[in-house]
Amino acid sequence: MSNLVRRTLTGIFLVILVIAAVITGQPYFALLFLFFTIIGLYEFYSLVEKAGISPNKVAGLFAGIVLFVTNALVAMNRMDLEWLLINFVSIFIIFLLELYRDDPNPFTNIAFTFFGLLYVAVPFSLLNYFPNPAFIPGVYHTSLLLGFFILVWVNETGAFLVGSAIGRHTLFRRVSPKKTWEGAIGGALLAFISALIIARFYVHFSLRDWLVITSMVVVFGSYGDLFESMFKRSVNAKDSGTILPGHGGVLDRFDGVFMAAPFVFVYLLMAY
């Protein structure tokens, strides 16, 4: 089986899985992305180890799970907002545990353990708030989550297809020599066309909202892709993992989400 076929089949399976989790209900979406959070953190810490750094995997995974679960429960109105403060406790445990590790670079280890949480666990945790940005009890709009993922997928797929077909001018040669301006522009155009279609069906949010969200997805999603390429290049790794045949790992597949989700979340808080 060729890599393109594996990539296509895996992509279709992942799309169906995410859409099914969103439609089925918020608890199912949270469970799926808790799984992705755990795998993504494990991949991140494993890549960092390739650079000779020793992040505290156990403490980082524990803090990431607590961070995601508390945010998911708050987003579902099953836990008061004050419970988010428990994350300060789980995070500072990392400082304490490093005291008992005999390693010559303790603060480097702490820094990369924290960075894994910031890069993976925080964006995935924020996705829990997308169906109800106004924090209204009992509200769960699947439209924003589905629309957000559709825009990310269209932007990334469009950039790949257009770039493969007509790409000539490198977007960021030092970081990712295969990504082109033609691909980036093609992905952006397809994403904005998709936003116009989405706005006709998902009327809970205005066309202006969808266009703003699309702009963030196009810009910061593309930066997320470049950042992850820079990260892998710095540790001489081709893929972040092998859990997704043809795509690599969770970090490879959700790199655009990691960077775009926080910006969309802030916009939603300000708009609603």
pLDDT tens per residue, range 136-191: 877 888 999 999 999 999 999 999 899 989 988 888 888 887 889 999 999 999 99
- Helix or strand run (H / E) with residue 164: helix 142-166
- Residues 44 and 170 placed together within one structural domain of the fold: no
Residue of 63, 14, 61 whose CA lies nearest to 243: 14
Asked whether the predicted pLDDT for residue 1 surpasses 70, the reply is: no
| DSSP-assigned letters across all residues of 177-229 | EEEEHHHHHHHHHHHHHHHHHHHHH-TTS-HHHHHHHHHHHHHHHHHHHHHHH
Residue 165: count of CB within 10 angstroms of its CB: 10
Residue 242 lies in domain: 1-23+140-272
- Give the pLDDT mean for 32-61: 95
122 and 200 share a domain?
A: no
Domain check: are 17 and 41 in the same one? no
Asked which of 106, 134, 162 is the last residue of a domain, the reply is: 134
Per-residue pLDDT band for 3 (boundaries 50, 70, 90) equals low
Span 120-147, average pLDDT: 91
C-alpha–C-alpha distance, residues 93 and 87, integer Å: 10
Among residues of the chain, what percentage have pLDDT more than 70? 98
Question: 111-115, 164-168, 219-223 — which is least confidently predicted?
Answer: 164-168
189 in Cβ contact with 196 (< 8 Å): no
Examine the domain organization and report whether 151 and 119 are in the same domain: no
pTM across the whole model: 0.94
Is 19 a residue whose pLDDT tops 60? yes
pLDDT classification of 102: cutoffs 50, 70, 90 = confident
Which of these, 83, 80, 226, lies nearest to 159 by C-alpha position?
226
Are 158 and 219 found together in one domain?
A: yes
